[in-house]
Structure 1
């Protein structure tokens, strides 16, 4: 049986403290990495209705039609009115451009950004945006109205997903935030 000397227990305490501080720093690092890693995961998988970014449709157009409904919500208290684009129904793979209109209801310039998602969530991986106002911050002059285009297509690979065979409409939703 050995008896711990004061030097031995002090050394053990220092190792334990170093290990705990190291774990704390590791956990802090993970918390900062979580948001970008989650964003990458969502973009790759389409999880949570995250859409894809594309340069264009290289797969062509198929006969099956898909309706796309456009929606807009605005953060509470934000002096903004948004008119979403009208519903469109096109053959899957058709590249289309729609326009949202946003009006600043205040007497000061308004800067806004928009976050987006697609429902049903599983269709997000097939919804491709070529151009979108959501990629940049929008500045709307006092009392002014701006047109914000979205160029998109639905990937024909959607037709091969048996879970989405009965889907006839996708909703693209934007939430406008004060920036």
Structure 2
């Protein structure tokens, strides 16, 4: 430290009693400046201490690398778990949509699907209900039922109906046949879907025996006949929407088992 300013300050303090007014003003200005310098120096020291303390706290609160890695691993594991769950759920829904759609449509006739006829036991109440419906309404007009068929592009089969049409009374049973031929040199399993048009007739088109939604295995070059046993429910005569309907079309489409039928858009997703 320079001793000259301190000596000057002491000298001014001792001579303050006998100094002139000019000297007293100079002494006051010097004291003012010295106080300002001390204040600035104190403020700078305090700010430096605060900066050091804040840096120390920030370094103490900063996440460690191992803790950050642990958090990232947890997030990655959660993301992978949800992704695998979504994939498995999508696959399960794809395979389960066909039987679920089949069950709903066979019960309600939704989407132009014929309703499965009640019954299936022997001598039970359901058989009695079915027998009561299988009574032809003689005074009703016969309804023309036509048949159509198609095959998926990836299935090398020939699939055609053996008859173009039949005419039935409400409550009268009818039997029709389709023929399928495997034109490839390999054994192939196919699955058929079907629909009825117009759609308002679907709840009244009941099938007793059908090859739809069942796996049909055809050997290379094999030809098989597939029966369809059905009837039109007499309740259609009481439906105002069925008035004027004289023709009903039953359509079948065969797909390869290696394809999944999507009932939402009635398309095929090849696997």
What's the TM-score, normalizing by structure 1?
A: 0.76
- The equivalences for 1:97-136 within 5 A come to 97-136=175-214
- The equivalences for 1:146-157 within 5 A come to 146-157=224-235
The alpha-carbon deviation at position 85 of structure 1 amounts to 3.5
Aligned to 1:61: 136
Aligned to 1:46: 109
The CA distance in 1 between the partners of 2:102 and 2:199, in whole Å, is 15
The CA distance in 1 between the partners of 2:185 and 2:251, in whole Å, is 27
The alpha-carbon deviation at position 155 of structure 1 amounts to 0.5
Give the direction of change, closer, same or farther, for the CA distance of 1:169–1:85 in structure 2 (3 Å limit): farther
Higher strand proportion: 1
Secondary structure in 1 matching 2:186: coil
What's the TM-score, normalizing by structure 2?
A: 0.52
Given that 1:49 and 1:124 are in contact with CA atoms closer than 8 Å, whether structure 2 keeps it comes out as: yes
Asked if 1:164 is matched to 2:239, the reply is no
Unpaired runs of 5+ in structure 1?
1-20
Unpaired runs of 5+ in structure 2?
1-81, 120-129, 258-271
The CA distance in 2 between the partners of 1:114 and 1:82, in whole Å, is 10
Higher helix proportion: 2
- The equivalences for 1:74-113 within 5 A come to 74-86=151-163, 87-113=165-191
Given that 2:107 and 2:116 are in contact with CA atoms closer than 8 Å, whether structure 1 keeps it comes out as: no
Give the structure with higher Rg (CA). Answer: 2
The CA distance in 2 between the partners of 1:85 and 1:57, in whole Å, is 28
